[in-house]
Amino acid sequence: MTCAYVVVKEGSPRILGNHAINLGMMNVDELKRRPRGAPDQGEIPVLFLGQVAVDQGARGRGFGSILMLHIFEKACVVADAAGCHAIILDVISVGGEVELACRKARYESFGFATFASNPARMFLAMKQVRAVVRSCIGQ
């Protein structure tokens, strides 16, 4: 299952931002710490986040934060239905090390952490995702 979302200005066909979420599995041994309720070995359900982008002309106007909150809200719904433990993403390295570091810093600002085994892969536990959503909607 993959769902793709886009941000457009009302009345305009121009895409200002987009993201895609898909359901998948990952080996629990890849994690430093196992999430509560995860098996000691084998695979756990996770959400893979991909194709997160904001149009260059729309950057600096909050669309990235809006997209991330939307991602978190959708992730909570899917995770509750499928029992997902985390959101996983691979940071693209197009443009070199400086751009990669900037992208990683942006995701870190939302709480994502880097996998020790793969510096371009990041994760965020669903517990943290739910806490962000609760704080943003005032619960």
Q: What is the CATH number of the domain that holds 6?
A: 3.40.630.30
What average pLDDT does this structure show over 3-7?
Answer: 85
pTM confidence score: 0.83
Distance (Å, whole) CA 131 – CA 139: 9
Check pLDDT > 60 for residue 70.
Answer: yes
Predicted pLDDT at 127: 92
What average pLDDT does this structure show over 18-45?
Answer: 80
Domain that holds residue 112: 2-137
Contact 114, 75 (CB under 8 A): no
Q: What SS3 class is residue 117?
A: coil
Phi, then psi, of 108 in degrees rounded to 5: -60, -35
- Number of domains making up the chain: 1
**Burial (0-12, 13-18, 19+ Cβ within 10 Å), 79:** buried
Predicted pLDDT at 139: 57
